[in-house]
């Protein structure tokens, strides 16, 4: 279903993503973990064609998407929805209109300027909001909602595209633990109930273990782990988050027990 072959992105003299390859053969929930700067966000942006690759291929059902241009690229972007850490909503626009903006790639410029939508599209947007438990927020401005509610609006906007793949770039990094759980539960439900592939950049090992079918660990632009959540051992945490002599004395002297809570504490320290 998805094949990534030797994908690389170079900025100046630095490889932000360095010759990565993997394949996913079903609509799984895939977590990408690693320190800030590991290349996670750059990779998702290449998949969505927000950033060009320096070299390599990404194939979806055999179709190479890194070379798409113009209309073909916009069609791909409608099939590969992106959810951002900072929501990327229009703050002063009502929630329903923000959700309907998931259809912008399919509408004329004139219709977009006057914010005119077919009744069927409006009803569908309301149905999606209802599914996500925030239908009552539809007439409110997006800026009036909590962070967790805004992220669910962003997910609703992505669903409005009816995508095959949902990319989530640190979707819970700005949220408190309760809202983070709601958002992750929502993404997992979409993955299971709709059969849509979800690829999410995540910071914590605990989140990856709880929600993901597969976990890819990145460090310095390269894949250093690719396996199942139950394979996320302390040794793997060391490889991903970099507990070696290049770190300061405080970091390298950290003892890492084998329990998951300690793994997450260690990972958080490495991310600080």
Mean pLDDT per 10-residue segment, the chain (272 residues): 96 95 96 94 96 96 95 93 93 95 74 76 96 96 95 97 96 93 96 97 91 96 95 89 48 31 43 40
Beta-bridge partners for 5: 57
**For 20, which DSSP code?**
E
pLDDT at 270: 41
- In the chain, list all ranges with CATH 3.40.50.300: 27-49+79-232
pLDDT at 260: 43
pLDDT at 244: 53
pLDDT at 104: 83
Indicate the class that CATH gives domain 27-49+79-232: alpha beta
Cβ within 8 Å of residue 83, ≥6 positions away: 151, 154, 155, 158, 166, 167, 168, 169, 171
Whether 150 contacts 132, CB under 8 Å? no
Beta-bridge partners for 80: 165
Tokens of 255: 């003892």
Whether 164 contacts 79, CB under 8 Å? yes
pLDDT at 28: 96
Whether 26 contacts 2, CB under 8 Å? no
Phi-psi region of 139 (alpha: psi -120 to 50; beta: other; left: phi over 0): alpha
pLDDT at 264: 43
167: how many CB neighbours lie within 10 A of its CB?
26
Tokens of 194: 């709709």
Whether 218 contacts 240, CB under 8 Å? yes
């Amino acid at each position: 279903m998805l094949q990534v072959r030797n994908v690389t992105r170079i900025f100046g003299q630095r490889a932000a993503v360095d010759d990565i390859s993997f394949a996913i053969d079903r609509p799984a929930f895939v977590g990408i973990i690693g320190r800030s700067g590991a290349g996670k966000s750059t990779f998702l942006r290449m998949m969505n064609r927000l950033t060009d690759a320096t070299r390599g291929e990404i194939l979806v059902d055999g179709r190479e998407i890194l070379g798409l241009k113009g209309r073909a690229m916009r069609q791909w972007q409608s099939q590969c929805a992106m959810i951002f850490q900072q929501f990327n909503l229009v703050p002063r626009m009502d929630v329903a209109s923000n959700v309907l903006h998931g259809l912008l790639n399919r509408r004329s410029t004139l219709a977009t300027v006057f914010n005119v939508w077919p009744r069927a599209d409006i009803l569908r947007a309301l149905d999606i909001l209802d599914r996500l438990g925030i239908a009552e927020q539809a007439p409110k401005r997006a800026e009036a909602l909590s962070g967790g509610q805004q992220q669910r609006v962003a997910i609703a906007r992505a669903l409005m595209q009816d995508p095959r793949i949902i990319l989530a770039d640190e979707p819970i990094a700005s949220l408190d633990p309760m809202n983070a759980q709601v958002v992750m539960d929502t993404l997992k439900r979409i993955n299971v109930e709709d059969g849509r592939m979800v690829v999410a950049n995540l910071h914590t090992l605990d989140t990856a273990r709880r929600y993901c079918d597969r976990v890819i660990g990145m460090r310095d632009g390269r894949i250093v782990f690719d396996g199942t959540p139950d394979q996320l051992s302390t040794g793997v945490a060391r490889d991903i988050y970099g507990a070696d002599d290049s770190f300061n004395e405080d970091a390298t002297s950290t003892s890492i027990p084998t329990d998951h809570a300690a793994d997450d504490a260690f990972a958080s320290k490495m991310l600080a």
